A and B are shown apart, each in its own frame.
Chain A
């Protein structure tokens, strides 16, 4: 059951204007995902509008459970049961993915839209060789290729993602590889078809050692440019976003609360939640030794029990009582390409980056 919203314009349409073709690569409109709960359905993705432009890295940040992974899975049509997409559209190169046949969707998955998941150990099948798992993508999407060609292509792709001795690796099993290599294998799987338009990376570095994280991130940026593909980089780590993303979307409790270019967002975040996130970034050497790390007070609200108004109300330092409590703010354009879902963004003091004084509490 898909409710289309004809009257609704995509609020967060592409604003960059430098895309090679007209219109964004992907346009998510009023997306809604629900899970059955004990007391009626729980909406985990609520009226999400988001556009991804050709060739850009769009960072998606938010706390665990805010719906960012669910958004990634919705894009691939892989919402885990018993969850369901109950509304909205996902336009990819003008076609609505939600109206597509399973067959058509399957042809896009792994070929033009690919995903890299968080945990490379659990997302590789333990009982098949690496070679088998890489080449099966080609066997699915490029049936005309011979076994020999597939193998050659796999070796070439493994070299491209920085795996040494690729020919030997092909016959190895995932448990024989290190975390970093496994994630490189995942990237090779994602890019093997050579036609990826959108790469969804769901916390791709979270499970890795810090030193490996930087390498993998760099690999992503390098491959993104090389294949001129768009990338949706999902993370809870703002520093990852700061290093890589062109634009950033911030999610909270199943909704987009702020979208902006990376520079404007880091220089002048408007939403109190985004500001809180920025303040909770640890800064080496910038704090007195005894100070505590800044944190956003409170916890993420229970999605089954959201207040009618702003979901951030309980934790917000800038709330205005009645309005914020009772009315859900809409996503408003504060500046060109900078959208924010807050009643009070106009009233807030200009953003000051955290200094040793403000970070200390």
Chain B
């Protein structure tokens, strides 16, 4: 078990390295330059542009920039944002909680609704619950989350006036002030994810419920709830946790859209703006920290996986 965990953690190091390299080249190879966004509509001459380029260090060859950038970034220093003029790490630290609250709460909601729904659908296969959950999850997956977000705003904010339509307040303003602005984004985010979890839970539960050891568990005289929740679920969890990890990673990407729809000042929104402005340090730092969370979650999933599946504790 320890060896397996250690190996997973060690595999983390090259992943980080590759991630950073990809982030650097992809952001810098995209046509455009932060300078155009920086100068806006002011009229400037070529000499001024050269001066700014030099100041930002963008005149040097890409590979030189990379070799200078990588060791610095590995210490956590992404430099200053070109536009905000503040350290990237500081800005990310300000914005990160919003994204984490959104994705984590959405994930909890997704698991809390998706798994029971999938389990019931598997047990009552072909029944009303099965069809209902199937329709529900298909709809959730098919509806674009930005569109769903607008519908929710129209319904709950504009027509019913129950919840604020956009913006964010930190929990310091009081729990309701904070939560009320997260409810609609969380619904929009989770609806897209639930379908995935429902389907995976249903499929793996059905597969497991057909196994001989389930017949055996029933033959022992165990109650149906113990058969399903102890024997079937623990076996099905091996596949379900994988999908949960995947869903979380997708959710981090999806937060970019949701944050823009609901004007949440999170990392996703920050990255969008940084991308438009070609704010390289900001963009790189933002993407990196988002990716880091996804990687950590996947590492956690791998470790949970070993808990559910004793067979891989030894082979890894």
Q: Which residues of B contact A352 (CB under 8 A)?
A: none
Residues of B contacting A110 in the complex (Cβ-Cβ under 8 angstroms): 219-222
Total B residues in contact with A, Cβ cutoff 8 Å: 21
- The residues of B that contact A175 with a CB separation of less than 8 Å are 310-311
In the complex, what residues of A have CB within 8 A of residue B218's CB? 76, 78, 109
A111, A124, A126, A175: most-surrounded residue (chain B CB, <10 A)? A126
Task: Contact check, B220 vs A137: say whether CB atoms are below 8 A apart.
Answer: yes
Nearest-neighbour CB distance to chain A for B224, whole angstroms, equals: 8
Given A119-B212, A122-B213, are A127 and B220 neighbors across the interface (CB < 8 Å)?
Answer: no
- Interface residues of A, CB < 8 Å — how many? 29
User: In whole angstroms, how far apart are the Cα atoms of A201 and B211 in the complex?
Assistant: 18
On whether the beta carbons of B310 and A173 are closer than 8 Å, the reply is yes
Within 8 A of A (CB), among B218-233: 218-223, 226, 231
Contact B217 A125 (CB under 8 A): yes
A106, A124, A140: the one contacting B213 at CB < 8 Å is A124
B-contact 0/1 string along A112-132, CB 8 Å cutoff: 001101010011111110000
Residues of B within 8 A of A73 (CB): 215
Report which of B212, B220, B234 forms a contact with A109, defined as CB distance below 8 A: B220
Q: Is A141 positioned at the interface, with any CB of B under 8 Å from its CB?
A: yes
> Once bound together, how far apart are the Cα atoms of A10 and B218, in whole Å?
29
Q: How far is the CA of A126 from the CA of B231 in the complex (A)?
A: 9
Q: Are A78 and B235 in contact (CB under 8 A)?
A: no
Q: Is A108 an interface residue (CB 8 A)?
A: yes
B310: A residues at CB distance < 8 A: 126-127, 173, 175
- Known contacts A128-B234, A173-B310, A175-B311: A123-B215 contact under CB 8 Å: yes
Q: Are A108 and B221 in touch, CB under 8 angstroms? A: yes
- A residues engaging B (CB < 8 A)? 73, 76, 78, 80, 106-111, 114-115, 117, 119, 122-128, 136-137, 140-141, 173, 175, 186, 189
Give me 22 A-to-B residue pairs in the complex whose CB atoms sit less than 8 angstroms apart, sorted by A's number: A73-B215, A106-B223, A109-B218, A109-B219, A110-B222, A117-B212, A125-B217, A125-B231, A126-B309, A127-B308, A127-B310, A128-B234, A136-B220, A137-B220, A140-B220, A140-B221, A141-B221, A173-B310, A173-B311, A175-B310, A186-B216, A189-B220
Q: Which residues of B contact A (CB under 8 A)?
A: 211-213, 215-223, 226, 231, 234-235, 238, 308-311
